[in-house]
Amino acid sequence: IIVIKIASIDKALKKIKNSGGKLYTSKVAVGPIGFYAKIKDTEGNVIGIWEDAPENIHLINTIESDSLCVNDG
């Protein structure tokens, strides 16, 4: 699958749907590095779209409590 890096998956999905494309798989977080979704274009081709996570947010997985903490500083 070809994957295209974009600025905003949410904005792209609106444009894709308005142009006749369809969401193939929902937007999912890929650890702390970004977001991924698959779309189907008007000719039936499945394409991946990628959005980097914001640079000012650092996700830290704490081993003691096995919880996810967000540090935006």
Q: Identify the pLDDT of residue 55.
A: 72
Q: For the chain (length 73 residues), average pLDDT per consecutive 10?
A: 95 95 95 94 96 69 42 41
Identify any residues that bridge with 3 across adjacent strands, giving them in sequence order: 48
Max Cα-Cα span within the chain: 49
> Quick one: CA dihedral 52, 35, 3, 45, positive or negative?
negative
Structure tokens at 4: 């295209």
Residue 22 vs residues 2, 11, 16: alpha-carbon distances, Å: 16, 14, 7
Q: Identify the pLDDT of residue 34.
A: 94
What does the DSSP 8-state code read for residue 53? P
Contact call for residues 30 and 72 (beta carbons, < 8 A): no
Q: Identify the pLDDT of residue 54.
A: 86
